[in-house]
Amino acid sequence: MEYHFYAMMSRMKYIERWALMRNAISENISEHSLEVSMLAHALAVIGKKRFHKELNAEKAALIGLYHDATEIITGDMPTPIKYYNRDILGAFQKIEENAANQLLGMLPEDIREEYHSIFFPEEEESYLWKLVKGADKLSALIKCMEEEKTGNTEFVKAKVSIEEALKKLELPEVEFFMKEYLPSYAKSLDELK
């Protein structure tokens, strides 16, 4: 029997992000997911080392790696549309759930069990999912900063909105990252040496 899960995952590179915005630097969900995975891992490590929390950084990285996989089926829904009102958001969440189940259905049952908690939050891992949400927002903020560095003003308002959303998350790991690590993203390669 053939199973298509991994071939479908490889298609993340074809889904472009920020479709309604003029981009100086294009970004697909494969690139974005790698960055979110690394940031989620970093936030969980910060949580463990700086805030003495029991967190599984490797699991956070995995959740981050697959957090937008459903967009292979749904496409990248622009934030202003997705969050326009609760009805649209609720309908889209159901679509994402159906897409996740469709993707998981592309695996044999015994392997599917290993992936279920990467696509669907388990109660005991709810904080990891919040960190992944923080990592997702941080990635968006970094994108805005990168666009700003190229002189693209298209992302100015998005940057302010994302910074506000990050504050509302009230995650000490995110605040620590923004204070200690985020300023480096504004530097040139020579300044990072």
Q: What is the pLDDT of residues 130-175, one digit of tens each?
A: 999 999 999 999 999 999 999 999 999 999 999 999 999 999 999 9
Give the three-state DSSP class for 83. Answer: coil
Whole-prediction pTM value? Answer: 0.93
Per-residue pLDDT band at 75 (split at 50, 70, 90): confident
What amino acid is encoded at 7 in this protein? A
Closest listed residue to residue 15, CA positions, set 79, 65, 77, 66? 77
Task: Measure the CA–CA gap between 117 and 123, rounded to whole angstroms.
Answer: 10
Q: Helices 29-51 and 57-66 meet at what angle, rounded to 10? A: 160
- Predicted confidence (pLDDT) per residue in 90-118, tens digit: 888 899 999 999 999 999 999 999 999 99
Output the average pLDDT for the chain: 94
Q: Is the pLDDT of residue 80 over 70?
A: no
C-alpha torsion 43→24→185→171, nearest 10: -30
Percent of the chain with pLDDT over 90: 87
